[in-house]
Amino acid sequence: MGVAGKHGVRNHVLFETRVTGAVWDDGAAKWRVKLLHKDGTTSEKAASAVLLAHGVLNRWSMPKIPGLETFAGPKMHTAGWDTSVDLKGKRVAVIGTGASAAQLAPAIADEVSHLTIFQRSKHWVLNNPDINVNVNDNVRFALREIPHYKEWFRFRVYWFSGDGLYGNVKMEADWPNQEVSISAQNDAVRNYALHYIHTKLASRPDLVEKIVPDYPIFGKRIVLDADGGWLDTLVRPNVTLETRGIDHIEKDAIVLNDGTRVEVDVLALATGFEITKVAGNLDIVGKGGCRIQEDWGEDDPYSYLGVMTPGYPNFFFVLGPNSAPNHAAGVNMVIEAQINWMVETLDLMVAEQARKVEPTIAAYDAWNEKVAAQMSQMIWAHPKAKSYYLNSAGRNIISCPFRLADYWKWTRHPAREDLTLS
């Protein structure tokens, strides 16, 4: 809020307004952006360029379970939590065991009468004791007073949560026993995770059997645990981890495939987001009437550098196809790099007095060939690594298979030969 006020950003924001689509006007070299206002009225705004920065984790994924709509009690997606619902003494069902469930379950286990967690797939659990560690006064002093400490501190954070982890996801061609790990670094982290799981669940070998995956660690998004919050919750007497499949939902119960009825009062849907549609439900119409939803189909997006695609001049994607840093925590770094590239490209347009810019077909093809070649060497190509990174055809459309440092270098300045300006 302070930054927005200081720089006058709020004066340029249309609040309570939704973008529903955009149509390219080639003669005017403008995008006609379609808007829907809170009162139901619509309008249109002309823009020389569009930066699509709505993110990939904003469209809830509701589980496709028969009877979900018939459940009579409160049902909430974790991204739309209703704090007015009183959970005290209630029988609560959490569907999902990923990152959202691992945060939710420890927070509510104390107040519910019983918590049943329905596991749809297994996730590696990794202990990270630094999650709940505050930045103390000594570090604050050093950041403020010691020359270059801030830069060192930033690099340390970057390395231990960024490219220092790249060895976890890059396959070693001659690594033995690739059924369970794909490199020396990956194997070491796997053993670290296994030790933590076996230690925390020493009294419950049945839970170890239920939660330990059969794919190499980092094959899909991991669950970070701090102070045993997630695993300690699983061993509570009022918590059940249910791995039998769900057949359907009734007004007061979840019915399993074997006919067992689990009576519940509240449904908590920790079922993630729909991320394969990079443009969401926006109707994007480019040159010659081409539509991005038709070009990409349901879940097959391609781009140049993760930021543009031919046929859609002056249209930029933030975290576009194959630009998410899934080997690490570098989303902020990738976004900063992409915005830098976009600004540099717009500056190039101004310098050349151009009105339109888009990548060449040759550059677009070369980039996607490069991505595919590198992706074949990554953990996400492992036959057991099935995750939301993959589309329905099994192609990874989300992850960037390169190091953050390399991607940062490639986005410093636009390669003029890769662009068509007119």
Cα 346–chain centre separation: 27
Radius of gyration of the chain (CA): 24
Cβ pair 280, 59 in contact under 8 A: yes
- For position 106, what pLDDT does the model report? 95
Q: What is the pLDDT of residue 335?
A: 95
**120-140 CB burial, b ≥16 within 10 A, e <16:** beebbbbbeeeeeeeeeeeee
The mean-pLDDT minimum among 53-57, 73-77, 297-301, 305-309 falls in: 53-57
- String of b and e for 284-305 (b: at least 16 CB within 10 Å)? bbbeeeebbbebbeebebbbbb
Distance CA 404, CA 373 (A): 17
Residue 279 has pLDDT above 90, yes or no: no
Q: List pLDDT tens digits, range 114-168.
A: 999 999 999 999 998 877 788 899 999 999 999 999 999 989 888 988 999 999 9
Q: How far is CA 29 from the centre of its chain?
A: 33
Phi, psi of 312 (to 5 degrees): -130, 75
Give me the mean pLDDT over the 313-330 stretch: 94
Q: Which domains does the chain have, with CATH numbers?
A: 17-48+275-421 (3.50.50.60), 68-130+158-269 (3.50.50.60)
**DSSP of 264-321:** -SEEEE---B--S-TTTT-EEE-GGG-BHHHHHTTT----BTTTB-TT-TTEEETT-T
Alpha carbons 266 and 86: distance in angstroms, whole number: 10
**Helix 149-161 / helix 137-145 crossing angle, nearest 10 deg:** 120
**What's the whole-model pTM score?**
0.91
Are residues 54 and 20 in contact, defined by beta-carbon separation less than 8 angstroms? no
The pLDDT of residue 71 is 97
Share of the chain above pLDDT 70, in %: 100
Task: Report residue 124 as tokens.
Answer: 């590696």
Residue with tokens 């794919």: 215
Residue 256 near residue 245, CB atoms below 8 Å: yes
Give bridge partners of residue 333 from the DSSP assignment.
none
Q: Quick one: the chain helix, strand, coil %, rounded to 5?
A: 35, 20, 45
The band of 244, judged by pLDDT with boundaries at 50, 70 and 90, is: very high
User: 64 pLDDT exceeds 90?
Assistant: yes
Q: How large is the average pLDDT for residues 171-182? A: 93
Average pLDDT over residues 262-286: 91
pLDDT for 189 beyond 80: yes
pLDDT tier at 418 (50, 70, 90 boundaries)?
very high
Whether the pLDDT of residue 276 is over 80: the answer is: no
User: Is residue 325 predicted with pLDDT exceeding 90?
Assistant: yes
Assess contact for 396 and 380: CB atoms under 8 A.
yes
Average pLDDT, the chain: 95
Pick the closest to residue 320 from 300, 302, 301, 306 (CA basis): 306
pLDDT at residue 273 greater than cutoff 90: no
